[in-house]
Amino acid sequence: MAKKDDQDSAETRLARLILALRSQGVSEPAVLGAIETTPREVFTPDLFKERAFEDSALPIACGQTISQPFIVGLMSQALKVDKRDRVLEIGTGSGYQTTILSKLSRLVYTVERYRTLMREAEARFKALGLTNIITRFGDGGEGWPEQAPFDRIMVTAAASDEPKALLSQLKPNGILVAPIGKGPVQSLKRYTGDGKGGFAIEALTDVRFVPLLDGVAKEL
Ligand code: SAH
C-alpha cells in the first residue's frame, strides 16, 4: 500500500481517500467536496507530507495531531453545518478541520492554546485565501463569550466532562459535537438543542483525541 502510494499521483491518492471516507459512511456531498478541495499536505509537517492522503492522524508541532480525515468528515457531517451558520471551533491545531468548516459555513471562530500552532494555521488560511476564519489564542474551554451564541460548535480535543461553558454559548436549536471522556478512548457526542434550554445527547462512535487542557500553553 505504501509502495503503491509512492507511485500514485496526488489526484489518485485523494480519490482513494474520498472513496474510503464514502465507504465508511461520510456521504454528505458538501462535506466530501470540502475535503476534496482542501490540500491536506499544506497542513502536514514536511516529515509526513508523503502521508497526507492516508486516512490517519499525523503528528504536528507542540505534540499535537492533525485529525484523521475520516474523523474530520464524520464530525463535519454530524455537525449538520449550513452555509449561513456561524461556527465555533475549539482546538485549531493545524487548521485542517477549520478549513473544512470554513467551506461549509458563513464564519468560523477558532481558538487554540498554542501560539505556534495558531500562527502557522493563520499563515495557511492566508495562503489559501480563506477570509471567513477568525482566530483567537486562548483557552477554548471558556468558548468565545463575546461572539456567542453560535449556531454550531465543534470541539477537536477531548473534554473530560460535559462542556457546560460551551453548551451555554450555543443557540437554542444549535448543535455541538465533541469527544467526551478522560481516557485514551473517548465517546464522540452530539448535543442537539431542543429550543427550550435542554439537549438531546447521542453517542456517535469511539474516538481518540488529545485532551482539552486548561489555560493557554506556557511554551510557544
Ligand atoms: N482540528 C485539528 C486537530 C487539533 S488536535 C486539526 O485538524 O489539525 C487538538 C488541538 O486542541 C491541539 O492543537 C491543542 O493544542 C488544542 N487544545 C487543547 N486544549 C485546548 C484549549 N483549552 N483551548 C484551545 N485549544 C486547545
pLDDT, tens digit (0-9, with 9 covering 90-100), for 38-93? 999 999 999 999 999 999 999 999 999 999 999 999 999 999 999 999 999 999 99
> Sorting pLDDT into bands at 50, 70 and 90, what band is 10?
confident
> Sorting pLDDT into bands at 50, 70 and 90, what band is 186?
very high
CA atoms within 13 A on the CB side of 60: 26
Query: How many angstroms separate the alpha carbon of residue 23 from the centre of ligand 1?
Result: 28
pLDDT in tens, 128-181: 999 999 999 999 999 999 999 999 999 999 999 999 999 999 999 999 999 999
Q: Which atom of ligand 1 is nearest to the CA of 43?
A: 8
Q: Which atom of ligand 1 is nearest to the CA of 72?
A: 7
Q: Answer for the pair 21, 33: CB distance below 8 angstroms, yes or no.
A: no
Please confirm, yes or no, whether 27 is among the known catalytic residues.
Answer: no
Closest-CA residue to 75 (of 211, 217, 186): 186
Query: How many angstroms separate the alpha carbon of residue 114 from the centre of ligand 1?
Result: 8
Statement: residue 3 has pLDDT above 60: no
> Sorting pLDDT into bands at 50, 70 and 90, what band is 6?
low
Asked whether 108 lines ligand 1 (CB < 6 A), one says no
Asked whether 93 lines ligand 1 (CB < 6 A), one says yes
Statement: residue 1 has pLDDT above 70: no
The C-alpha cell that represents 121 in the structure block: 494555521
Statement: residue 5 has pLDDT above 60: no
Domains and CATH numbers, the chain: 2-207 (3.40.50.150)
> Sorting pLDDT into bands at 50, 70 and 90, what band is 4?
low
Sheet of strand 107-112, all strands in order from the earlier edge strand to the far edge: 133-137, 107-112, 86-90, 150-155, 170-180, 186-193, 199-207
| Distance separating alpha carbons of residues 130 and 74, to the nearest angstrom | 22
Chain-wide mean pLDDT for the chain? 95
* Proportion of the chain above pLDDT 70, given as a percent: 97
Q: Which of 56, 67, 76, 94 is catalytic?
A: 67
pTM of this prediction? 0.96
* pLDDT value of position 170: 98
